[in-house]
Amino acid sequence: MNNKILLIALISMTLGDSFCYSQQKKVTYDVNRLLKENKLIKAYPRQIVTEVTDGSKQGLTTDGILWLKNVDFETGVVEVDLRGRDVFQQSFLGIAFHGVDTTTNDVIYFRPFNFQTTDTLRRKHTVQYISEPDFPWDKLRKEHPLVYENAVNPFPEATAWFHARIVINTDDITVYVNHSDWPSLKVKKLNNRQKGLIGLWSSGLPGDFANLVISQ
């Protein structure tokens, strides 16, 4: 009898896991096509957005935020290929989510110019979580040093494409780089917003984005 009960429990757990997995909505976005079909919302009128093709990477180069039109993101996984610039303090790029507008949003972003620095402290400033407007990077660094930013593991080349996998849950966020099993950053969310806009985020010099996949 005990064996039968155990077997039924295992089957139920398996079916339950399969059901949950089947409920996930995974969408691959061709960001070039979204641009051509006017399905990206610019942060400001003069924002520069151009197509970029580099081998298997076909995407966009942009500065500012490019919101995905009619996409309301709650929790799930965001995967994207990114490429920044090796220019000190001028290249920042990542993913904005749970956005209300261009001034109220959460961001996971990278500082590629710190990827290969020999400065140990600067290396720990390579991936960052912020929650605007209440928790910008400088406030977090001052009040919570090395809690909301960390070193990327493994370190890509500063000017190379790299893959980011961002797992956004109700209360926490985990970031993986270049298909590593070891997280580069894991933090608690700093607000109670549970859904909102999602988009490509770049500050300073334009950043490159390709192969965007969103599962939620």
**Is residue 15 situated within a structural domain?**
no
Domain span at residue 120 reads 26-215
**Is residue 4 situated within a structural domain?**
no
State the Cα–Cα distance between residues 38 and 18, nearest whole angstrom: 36
* Burial status of residue 198 (CB atoms within 10 A of its CB: 0-12, 13-18, 19 or more): buried
Number of folded domains that form the chain: 1
Provide, rounded to the nearest whole percent, the portion of the chain with pLDDT above 90.
Answer: 84
DSSP code at position 135: B
**Is residue 200 situated within a structural domain?**
yes
Residue partners of 34: CB distance under 8 A and separation at least 6: 40, 68, 69
**Is residue 8 situated within a structural domain?**
no
Q: What is the CATH number of the domain that holds 211?
A: 2.60.120.560
**Is residue 49 situated within a structural domain?**
yes
Residue partners of 93: CB distance under 8 A and separation at least 6: 82, 84, 109, 110, 112, 200, 201, 202, 203, 207, 208, 209
**Is residue 180 situated within a structural domain?**
yes
**Is residue 14 situated within a structural domain?**
no
**Verdict on whether the full-model pTM lies above 0.85:** yes
Which tokens in the block code for residue 38?
């006017």
Instruction: Assign 2 a pLDDT band (cuts: 50, 70, 90).
Output: low
**Is residue 162 situated within a structural domain?**
yes
Task: Check whether 27 has a pLDDT greater than 70.
Answer: yes
